[in-house]
Amino acid sequence: MIYISEEESAALVTHELAFEAVRRALVAAASKQSLVFPAVLGRAREATNTFSIKSGSSDQLTGVKIGSFWSGNPARGLPRHNSTVVLLDQETGRLSAVIEAGKVNAYRTAAADAVAADLLARKQAKLLAIFGAGNQAGFEVTALARIRPIETVLIVASPSPRRDAFVDRIRDHGLTARAVPAEEAVRSADIVVTATPSRQPLFDATWVNPGTHIVSMGSDAPGKRELASELLSRASLFCDLPSQSLQIGEFQHVRESVEAGTLIVTPIGDVIEGRGPGRRSDEEITVFDSSGISLQDLYMAEALIRAKASHR
């Protein structure tokens, strides 16, 4: 059995590795050879300590990812978010690999959004607006700056030392960064990313300019919501996996319209493979719902195993 510790996986992962692995996973998710099972959402004795179990299989990989959020960990000097990926042997069902992947999970999530943006955002997108200043937000900025000529990052978050430190961190990457109100950020942006635990829309749909690409990655449980329904009704909609997006992702709030055929949701894997259209004009508003699927974790685990072998 292969074991990769948190320290090892954090040293091996890169945005390049994550982009290629997640791209393969999104293609697999849109194929008939793969299965992604409903996410199990749970919590520990303390209601603020939560976990999720995501499982799936492709023609190459079978396994599960256990993600956890333990709210009190910073006081212990530990990250709130942790992740463990378990691969099973395709022939025997026995353990094949266990990979601790807390930091890797942040790369994996940002990679899915970068893969989608590479297909959906306008080629000359230079201004990125991001809602949230938490752990994931920084990974989103650096992943998107790899695939688009981002020059300026506008940050929407409540005033706090953490927000100010985040602004400084983005500037350290050579980007112009400042904290601004939500309306200014959205009206100015080529790309908008929402990375929050919100349960209500974060901004008015009328603030969004034609041609904007929007990523919602905070909606990953029933009741979570970052975007207004009015925005979704005037945009082209894409996601990692429609069945999951409609249950726990952003598109749960327009489920009836999707099921009735009034709104169309396209798996991003179909766009990668040329089976579905991506952006069709510079005026089109595109939305990618990134709820995070198990295949992303399985393909990341496989890529890390290969990377470890090549470093020997």
Spatial contact of 150 and 130, defined as CB atoms under 8 Å apart: no
Can you state the angle between helices 15-29 and 102-120, rounded to 10 degrees?
70
| Cα separation, 158 vs 164, whole angstroms | 10
Active-site residue (options: 32, 54, 65, 224): 65
Structure tokens at 28: 């697999």
Q: Go through the chain and tell me how many residues it has.
A: 312
- Please list the residues that pair with 41 across neighbouring strands: 52
CB proximity list for 212: less than 8 A, separation 6 or greater: 186, 189, 190, 191, 192, 285, 286
Could you say which DSSP state residue 279 is in? -
Residue-wise burial string across 212-238, b where 16 or more C-beta atoms lie within 10 A, e elsewhere: bbbbbbbbbbeebbbbbeebbeebbbb
126 is catalytic: no
Are the CB atoms for 107 and 18 separated by under 8 Å? yes
Instruction: Tell me how crowded residue 6 is: count the other CB atoms within 10 A of its CB.
Output: 17
Q: Residue 259 in contact with residue 286, Cβ under 8 Å?
A: no
Closest CA to 250 of 261, 265, 262, 271: 265
CA distance 308 to 312: 7
Residues serving a catalytic function are 65
